[in-house]
């Protein structure tokens, strides 16, 4: 399990929903289900939260963020959401930024 700090969980929920739409059939049913479960776990708040992810969830989240970056919506984003997503992707890619637990 990995511990990840999310700076803007409310906006991340929106980004992940868009990512699922953008990915079309590229995400498997299992990956889509995994991301939907993560969306349900995230609170709709605009302050820091910490979540625990399995290795599979981490990979699914990273793939979803990459699909979101390919969307037209991402091209119009400015400010805090862009920074929050960049911070999250950095944590997901660079495991030294993540605290391995369990």
Over residues 50-96, the pLDDT tens digits come to 888 888 888 888 888 888 877 766 666 655 667 777 788 888 888 65
Residue 27, CB half-sphere, CA atoms under 13 Å: how many? Answer: 28
Instruction: Express as a percent the part of the chain with pLDDT over 70.
Output: 80
pLDDT score, position 7: 83
Q: Which of the pair, 12 or 96, is modelled with greater confidence? A: 12
| Whole-angstrom distance, CA of residue 45 vs CA of residue 56 | 25
Q: Where are the chain's structural domains?
A: 2-100
pLDDT score, position 94: 80
Report the predicted TM-score, pTM, of the whole model to 2 decimal places.
0.68
pLDDT above 90 (res 37): yes
Q: Which of the pair, 46 or 48, is modelled with greater confidence? A: 48
Residue 36, CB half-sphere, CA atoms under 13 Å: how many? Answer: 9
pLDDT score, position 79: 58
């Amino acid at each position: 399990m990995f511990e990840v700090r999310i700076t803007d969980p409310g906006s991340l929920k929106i980004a992940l929903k868009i990512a699922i739409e953008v990915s079309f059939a590229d995400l498997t049913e299992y990956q889509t289900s995994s991301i939907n479960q993560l969306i349900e776990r995230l609170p709709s708040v605009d302050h820091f939260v910490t979540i625990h992810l399995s290795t599979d969830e981490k990979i699914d989240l990273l793939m979803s963020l990459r699909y979101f970056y390919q969307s037209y919506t991402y091209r119009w984003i400015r400010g805090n959401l862009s920074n929050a997503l960049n911070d999250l992707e950095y944590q997901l890619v660079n495991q030294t930024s993540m605290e391995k637990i369990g």
